[in-house]
Structure 1
Amino acid sequence: MPHDLLSPPLLLACIALIVGIAAFAHGVIGVGFPLITTPCIALLTDLKTAVLITVLPNILLNILSILRGGNWRDSLLKHWRLAAYVLLGSLVGTQLLIGLPAEPLKLALALMMLVSINLNRLKKLDWSFLRRHRRTSEAAFGLIGGILSGTVNVSVPPLAIYFIGLDLSPVATVQLFNLCFIVGKLTQAGTLAAHGEFTVAILWQSAGLTVLAVACLIPGMRIQSRMDASTYRRWLNHTLLLMAVLMLVQVGLAWAR
Structure 2
Amino acid sequence: MLDDPLLLAFTLVLVGLAAWVHGFIGIGFPLISTPTLAAVTDLKTAVVLTVIPNIALNILSILRGGNLGASLLPHWRLPVYVLLGSLVGTHFLIGVPGAPLKVLLALMMLVSVAMNRIKGFDWGFIRRAPRTWEAVAGLTGGLLAGTVNISVPPLAIYFMALGLSPIATIQIFNLCFIVGKLTQAGSLAAAGEIHWADMPGNLALTVLAVLALLVGMRLQARTSPAQYRQWLNVSLAVMAVLLLGQVAWQTFSH
User: Is residue 53 from structure 1 mapped to residue 49 from structure 2 by the alignment?
Assistant: yes
* Distance in 2 separating the partners of 1:37 and 1:183: 19
* Distance in 2 separating the partners of 1:29 and 1:55: 19
Measure how far apart 1:129 and its partner are.
Answer: 1.3
User: Is residue 35 from structure 1 mapped to residue 31 from structure 2 by the alignment?
Assistant: yes
* Distance in 2 separating the partners of 1:184 and 1:227: 30
2:151 is matched with which residue?
A: 155
Per-residue CA shift, 1:136-163, capped at 9, x if unaligned?
1000010000000000000000000000
Per-residue CA shift, 1:207-233, capped at 9, x if unaligned?
110000011111110111111212111
2:209 is matched with which residue?
A: 213
1:71 is matched with which residue?
A: 67
* Distance in 2 separating the partners of 1:255 and 1:205: 32
Query: Which consecutive aligned stretches of 4+ in structure 1 deviate over 6 angstroms post-superposition?
Result: none
2:81 is matched with which residue?
A: 85
User: Is residue 241 from structure 1 mapped to residue 234 from structure 2 by the alignment?
Assistant: no
Q: CA RMSD in A?
A: 0.8
The answer for unaligned runs of 5 or more in structure 1 is none
Q: Is the 8 A contact 1:53 1:203 kept in 2?
A: no
User: Is residue 185 from structure 1 mapped to residue 181 from structure 2 by the alignment?
Assistant: yes
* Distance in 1 separating the partners of 2:116 and 2:236: 14
2:250 is matched with which residue?
A: 254
SS at match of 1:173: helix
* Normalised TM-score (structure 1): 0.97
In the comparison of the two structures, how many residue pairs are matched? 253
Identical residues among aligned pairs (%): 63
> In the alignment, which of 140, 144, 149 is matched to residue 144 of structure 1?
140
Q: Which moved more, 1:28-37 or 1:68-77?
A: 68-77
Q: Is the 8 A contact 1:122 1:161 kept in 2?
A: no
Partner amino acid for 1:125?
F
Partner amino acid for 1:180?
C
The answer for unaligned runs of 5 or more in structure 2 is none
* Normalised TM-score (structure 2): 0.98
SS at match of 1:118: helix
Partner amino acid for 1:12?
L
Measure how far apart 1:73 and its partner are.
Answer: 2.0
